[in-house]
Amino acid sequence: MMPIASLPPILAVRVQQMLVISIQSQVVHGHVGNSAAVYPMQAEGVSVAAVPTTLLSNHPRYPTVRGRVLEAELVADLLRGVEERGLIEQAAVLVTGYLGSPENAGVVADFAERALRRNPDLLYLCDPVIGDDDRVYVADGILDVVRKRLVPAAALITPNQFELELLSGTKARDVSGLLAAGNAISALRPAGVIATGCTLADTPAGQLETILCAGGQVSRIATPRLPIRPCGTGDLLTGLLAAQLAKGASCEAAMRHAVDTVFAVLARTQEARSEEMCLIPLPLAPVPA
C-alpha cells in the first residue's frame, strides 16, 4: 500500500454538521439504494434525509418486481421540500446513487448544482451506478448526465472498476492504468476516486480491492473474495463512507472503516446463507486513527 501523504482540502475538511442528503432508489424488501444506506448511516449516528428515485418491491434479480421509477416531477417536488426545510444548509454530505431515468438524472443534477451554490461546504459524493460486469444497465441518457454534470460537480466518486473505465475512457487493469483513469476523472473536477471491486494485474488471487486514487497517489485495501454476491454492497459502502465523512473522518480512514464493515456484513451474510445482506445489527468496524 502506498500511503497518501495529503489529500486535497475538500476531502480533508472537518465539518460540524451530521446530516446526509441521500438521493437513491428504495425497495420494500431487501437492501439496495437507500434501503441499504440509510440504516447504516443512522447506526453511525448520522441523520439522513432520504429521497427516493424509484420505489420497487425488490431488486430486479428476483423473478418478479413491482413498483416503478418515480416520475421526475415527483422527485423534483420532494427535492423542493428538502430545500424548503433548509436541509441543504444543514447538510454535510450529499449522496446520489441510482437515478432510474434520464429525466430524474437531470432533476438531481439541477438540485446538486443548486445545493453546492447554496452550501459551498457541502461534500458531494457521487456513486455513478451505471453498470457492472462489462455492461451498462441503466436507461439511455443517464450515462450522459452522470458524465457531463454529476461527476464534474462531485468531490468524490465511487465507481466500480467497469464504471471507472467507462467514465474515464481508460483501461484500469494495473496501478498505472488506474492512476491514469483517476487522473482523467480528476480533470473533470472530483478530488478523489474510490474504485470498488477491483482486480488488477497484481491483485492477489482470491481477493478484491477497493482503491482510493487522490492527488496522484493510491491507497489499496484487499479483502478475500467471498463466494456470494448480494445486491447493494456498493450502496452500503457509499453510505458508510458518507457517514464517516459527515463526522469529519479523513477520506482514507472512512474508506478503511467502510471496507471492513462491508466485509463483516458479507461474512455474516454468507454464514446465514441469505440472499440479502444481513445488516442488522450492523457490525461496525473500528475507525482507523
The reply to whether 286 falls in a domain is: no
Is residue 279 included in any domain, yes or no?
A: no
Q: How far apart are CA 16 and CA 70, in angstroms?
A: 33
| Domain extent at residue 53 | 16-272
pTM of full prediction above 0.85: yes
Q: What does DSSP say about strands 131-132 and 123-126: parallel, antiparallel, or unpaired?
A: unpaired
Please check whether residue 203 lies inside any domain of the structure.
yes
**Within a domain: 288:** no
Q: Within a domain: residue 256?
A: yes
For residue 17, what pLDDT is reported? 62
Tally the domains of the chain.
Answer: 1
- Write the burial class of residue 289 (CB in 10 Å: 0-12 exposed, 13-18 middle, 19+ buried): exposed
Asked if residue 168 belongs to a domain, the reply is: yes
**What mean pLDDT do residues 1-26 have?**
64
Domain assignment of residue 2, yes or no: no
What whole-number distance in Å separates Cα of residue 110 and Cα of residue 213? 27
In a domain, residue 196? The reply is yes
The domain that holds 183 is classified in CATH as: 3.40.1190.20
Integer Rg of the chain from CA: 17
> For 246, phi and psi rounded to 5 degrees?
-65, -30
Q: How far is CA 64 from CA 56, 59, 67, 132, in A?
A: 10, 9, 10, 21
pLDDT over 70 (residue 10)? no
In sequence order, the 6+-apart residues with CB closer than 8 A to the CB of 166 are: 130, 131, 136, 143, 159
> In this predicted model, what pLDDT tens digit does every residue of 20-56 receive, in sequence order?
999 999 999 999 999 999 999 999 999 999 999 999 9
